[in-house]
Structure 1
Amino acid sequence: MARIGVISFSDGRDYVHDGIVDFIRRTEDTLVARLADAGHEVVRGKQVVSSNTLATSVAREVAAAGVDLTVFHYAVWAFPHFTMLAAGATPGPLLLLSNIDPVQPGMVGMLAAGGALDQIGRAHTRLWGDPEQRDLVDAITARATAAAAVARLRGATFGRFGGRPMGMNTAVANTDQWQRLFGVDVEEIDQWEIVRRADLADAAEVRLAREWLERHATVHYDGKKLTPELLERQIRSYLAVRELIDEWHLDFSGIKGQPELTQYFATMDITEAFLNDPYDWHGPKETHVCATEADMDGALTMQLLKHIAGTPVLFADVRHYHADRDIWDLCNSGQHATWYAARSDDPAENLRRVHLYPEVFFFPAGGASVHHLAAPGQMTLARLTRRDGAYRMQLMLGEFENYDDATNETLMRQSTFEWPHAFARLDAPADDFLSRFGANHIHAVPGDRRAEVRAACELLGVTVDEFTRG
């Protein structure tokens, strides 16, 4: 979860402050307790702000703790200039929160403070209500989670292996714009480094990984496009990229793949799937967002969603629309993390649903394609796209669906069976979606995370373009 600062404001008249400070502290105690119950780390101001000097000093102390979001708390009427001074000492996102009490005019204090901040153009969000209400705590949580996600983006480095794949303009972004809007740097790395380092991988490690895959997944060797040697080449590629991630201190990455690697070396399907997974043959690990076709805006969307949801993020092509069922087949060569097969904390539970098939016609170099069907459940689907150079977040809610085995196979065989699939029912009419969705790739995380995505976009200055059926 997030680290949240809480600063309470009071009346600047000593005789008034002395009579209400206990009430302020009690309401703050309740707020802090409920935020802690929600899993957040809370940094409290050491004193209730009742003077101009305290406004600055308390805010500086809270800011120095590295909070993701600062809550200015109004349980009573508070002098607005205290808020202005505290805001000047608070570099991060602000949320103004008032209680609803007919005796103590916290709402008046919040409105006066918020109006003053509006006058100087200081961005902030306002909420009001009883901290004992779950809806209010959820709203604060959404804002705090978004603020933490945005903060984690800033200062990150994206590793771009290779260049633009197959003329795909939507996979390439302006590095200056990334630095200005998101605070993200880009490290350019040649794909030859993957090939070169793959040959240097430890043979015992490679064998351990291959045997683990053979034991937990179903491997369909054919002696041509998929052999133990080709599977080991893919594992070596994974180890090479892991080494480069550590060496270049990469926070997330993308691999061009096509056409050089897929024609002359091996596909990166194993590499991409297990980088995005929360485990490999050594056990649990941190997920590393890796986008196929070096899709920069795709990877950036995934990284933001990862920080919001704390789960692996799905990457897929919008491959086909089954009009008779009103579902979409989200399918892309090997890119889905195997976690999506069952969304289980137990890798064996996921991998028993995974098949490693020989690569298809498009990839003459061969290797394994990581095939599975994404487990059912509610999903948030999103994608950062650009219209006339300006970023927008295209956002919608959806549901992944599964059917009986025969129907699942029939539907998958209508596109490329060997690749991973997710059958998605989107809260977006097909005509509307196809008319204005700005990329061929789309991304997803479990649950309804739209509130956090909207809040993150507000903090980033990115327009939200939301699809709905209403």
Structure 2
Amino acid sequence: MKRKVGLLTFSDGRDYVNKDLVEINARFEQAVVEALNSTGEVEVIRAERIVDKPSVAKEEALKLRDKGAQMTIFHYAVWAFPHFSVIASKFAPGPFLLFGNVNPKYPGMVGMLAAAGALEQDGTQTYRMWGDPKDPKVLKKLMAFIRAATARNMLKGQRYGMFGGRSMGMYTAVPNVDLWNKLFGIDVEHIDQLEIIEKSKKVPDSVAEHAREWLEKHAKKIHYDGKQLTPEKLQLQIKSYYALRKMAEDLELDFIGVKAQPELTEHFVTMDVAEAFLNDPYDWDGPKEPLVCATEADSDGALTMQIFKLISSQPVLFADVRHYDSDDNFFDLCNSGQHATFFAARSYDPVVNLAKVEFYPESFYFPAGGASVRHIAAPGEVTLARLTRKDGRYVMRIIKGEFLDFGEEKNEEKARATQIEWPHAFARLKVSAEEFLSSYSSNHIHGVYGDYVEELVHFCKLSGIDFVVYA
């Protein structure tokens, strides 16, 4: 996925001055293009002309819109007439990032600040950055904003599929449809869980058998017990996976949530295999794009995951905040088999991950049976977050942390202390347990590998929602 970024460079409006600045503007603009291209994430949609007249500001801005830019960088390397930026802002696709290049012999910073002031006066939301775009620190900041801004725009017009209603009385799992539409431009489709059962019946046995045999070949172990977990129940879970994928395609759903408990988990089969592999970047048929799926139809959880996916282009974790281990100062993030197998080894090669994945019989919580997808998350820096609501307003809670690896023996000991058959991520947070537990407002949490705090903060500011960074 390439992020489409429009680039407009502004100049002096006096013809005799602008003629002497053409080469300078082009050279500094090229430096921005090369820096962004070096990331491999960005498709730069470059204006055809340097903006030196009001008509050019409008025409070039419209071209960026027509070419599908998902945000626009207003670029300043010299003094530029501020009204050009104001005119362009009425037609170019936002959000807008004002970037001042390093050119001390010409008043580019003056031009950026003059434009920023003019845009602020008319209420246009902008963000400002400056520096050499080839400086890794500057480029990192540029990319943080670009990821947030493009993710914000990609959400508009997306559709969320909610299979089933509220699960087990969780208010925090139910979406506010009006707020989603107002803030993010997301449409919500409600679908009965009966559709999963009926569509599963249409998946050929041969397709499910192929997938089961692939899992049997590559997984560390499948713990068939002849009761809760049998080959037939595993195949039914696989059919559920195909059913959900097919409905997402037919109904044009961009991300989904599945209630599961208690109806499916008591009378059909658990959704753990389906949820894990929907969130994975592959399945037994090959590589694919992850389809964000939240268990217990946790809609704010699914939305948080979709934001993470669009920002990071990674599979996203869904977990319960299950237990705090005071001896080793970590939280056991453990949920009923929902974790994508990607987290087992942090690899895009399914064989590498599945070598660390076991399929356990479901516990007494789920009498219908099936497999729980069980592994320990690979170690590494992580960003965790969750959209919560407080008195009708969204608050995104953002936490830096790391996943820990205690070694196989101790990992098993820690997992057994809570739930041996479920997946675990041992997370040490950059905040005290007391502060976290006294203010974090959900039983669920989500995250990806790497540091995406700055991206999430930008996303919240662009969306007009509150945020808290735990540090």
TM-score (norm 2): 0.98
Structure 1 residue 100, shift from structure 2 partner: 2.9
Q: Which residue is equivalent to 1:417?
A: 420
**Matched residue type, 2:162:** R
Question: 128, 141, 144: which one pairs with 2:143?
Answer: 141
Question: 227, 236, 239: which one pairs with 2:239?
Answer: 236
* Alignment partners' CA distance in 1, 2:23 and 2:409: 67
Question: 106, 109, 113: which one pairs with 1:107?
Answer: 109
Q: Which residue is equivalent to 1:227?
A: 230
Question: 342, 353, 369: which one pairs with 1:350?
Answer: 353
* Alignment partners' CA distance in 2, 1:347 and 1:318: 26
* Alignment partners' CA distance in 1, 2:194 and 2:223: 28
Q: Any conservation in 1 of the 2:72–2:93 contact (CA below 8 Å)? A: no
* Alignment partners' CA distance in 2, 1:72 and 1:228: 58
Structure 1 residue 151, shift from structure 2 partner: 1.4
* Alignment partners' CA distance in 1, 2:236 and 2:287: 23
**Matched residue type, 1:27:** F
SS at match of 1:159: strand
Structure 1 residue 131, shift from structure 2 partner: 2.0
Q: Which residue is equivalent to 1:300?
A: 303
* Alignment partners' CA distance in 1, 2:56 and 2:235: 63
What are the superposed Cα offsets for residues 258-298 of structure 1, whole Å, 9 maximum, x if unpaired?
A: 11111111110011001111111111111100000000000
Question: 179, 182, 190: which one pairs with 1:180?
Answer: 182
Q: Any conservation in 1 of the 2:69–2:93 contact (CA below 8 Å)? A: no
* Alignment partners' CA distance in 2, 1:343 and 1:213: 18
The aligned runs of 1:53-452 (5 Å cut-off) are 53-217=55-219, 218-452=221-455
What are the superposed Cα offsets for residues 196-253 of structure 1, whole Å, 9 maximum, x if unpaired?
A: 2222220110111111111111111111111111111111211211221111111100
Structure 1 residue 181, shift from structure 2 partner: 0.6
SS at match of 1:414: helix
Q: Any conservation in 1 of the 2:272–2:336 contact (CA below 8 Å)? A: yes
Structure 1 residue 393, shift from structure 2 partner: 0.9
SS at match of 1:77: coil
* Alignment partners' CA distance in 2, 1:122 and 1:52: 18
Q: Any conservation in 1 of the 2:6–2:71 contact (CA below 8 Å)? A: yes
* Alignment partners' CA distance in 1, 2:356 and 2:344: 6
* Alignment partners' CA distance in 2, 1:376 and 1:79: 51
SS at match of 2:57: helix
What are the superposed Cα offsets for residues 89-145 of structure 1, whole Å, 9 maximum, x if unpaired?
A: 123111111123332000111111100111011000101111221222221111111
Q: Which residue is equivalent to 1:15?
A: 16
Structure 1 residue 388, shift from structure 2 partner: 0.6
* Alignment partners' CA distance in 1, 2:57 and 2:224: 68
* Alignment partners' CA distance in 1, 2:10 and 2:346: 45
5+ residue gaps in structure 1? none
* Alignment partners' CA distance in 1, 2:349 and 2:215: 14
Q: CA RMSD in A?
A: 1.0
Structure 1 residue 461, shift from structure 2 partner: 1.2
* Alignment partners' CA distance in 2, 1:328 and 1:15: 65
* Alignment partners' CA distance in 2, 1:201 and 1:57: 52
Structure 1 residue 445, shift from structure 2 partner: 0.4
Does 1:31 pair with 2:35?
no
Structure 1 residue 325, shift from structure 2 partner: 1.1
Q: Which residue is equivalent to 1:3?
A: 4
Q: Any conservation in 2 of the 1:68–1:144 contact (CA below 8 Å)? A: no
Aligned-pair identity (%): 53
* Alignment partners' CA distance in 2, 1:115 and 1:41: 29
SS at match of 1:141: helix
Q: Any conservation in 2 of the 1:319–1:330 contact (CA below 8 Å)? A: yes
* Alignment partners' CA distance in 2, 1:107 and 1:333: 54
What are the superposed Cα offsets for residues 131-177 of structure 1, whole Å, 9 maximum, x if unpaired?
A: 22122222111111111111111111111000000000000011111
TM-score (norm 1): 0.98
* Alignment partners' CA distance in 1, 2:229 and 2:457: 44
Q: Any conservation in 2 of the 1:400–1:425 contact (CA below 8 Å)? A: yes
* Alignment partners' CA distance in 2, 1:131 and 1:368: 50
* Alignment partners' CA distance in 1, 2:55 and 2:260: 58
Structure 1 residue 178, shift from structure 2 partner: 0.6
Q: Any conservation in 1 of the 2:64–2:93 contact (CA below 8 Å)? A: no
Structure 1 residue 5, shift from structure 2 partner: 1.2
SS at match of 1:318: strand
What are the superposed Cα offsets for residues 345-397 of structure 1, whole Å, 9 maximum, x if unpaired?
A: 21111111111111101111111111100000000101111111100110011
**Matched residue type, 2:119:** L
The aligned runs of 1:454-469 (5 Å cut-off) are 454-468=457-471
SS at match of 1:53: helix
5+ residue gaps in structure 2? none
Moved over 4 A (4+): none
SS at match of 1:395: strand
**Matched residue type, 1:428:** V
| Alignment coverage as a number of residue pairs | 468
**Matched residue type, 2:182:** R
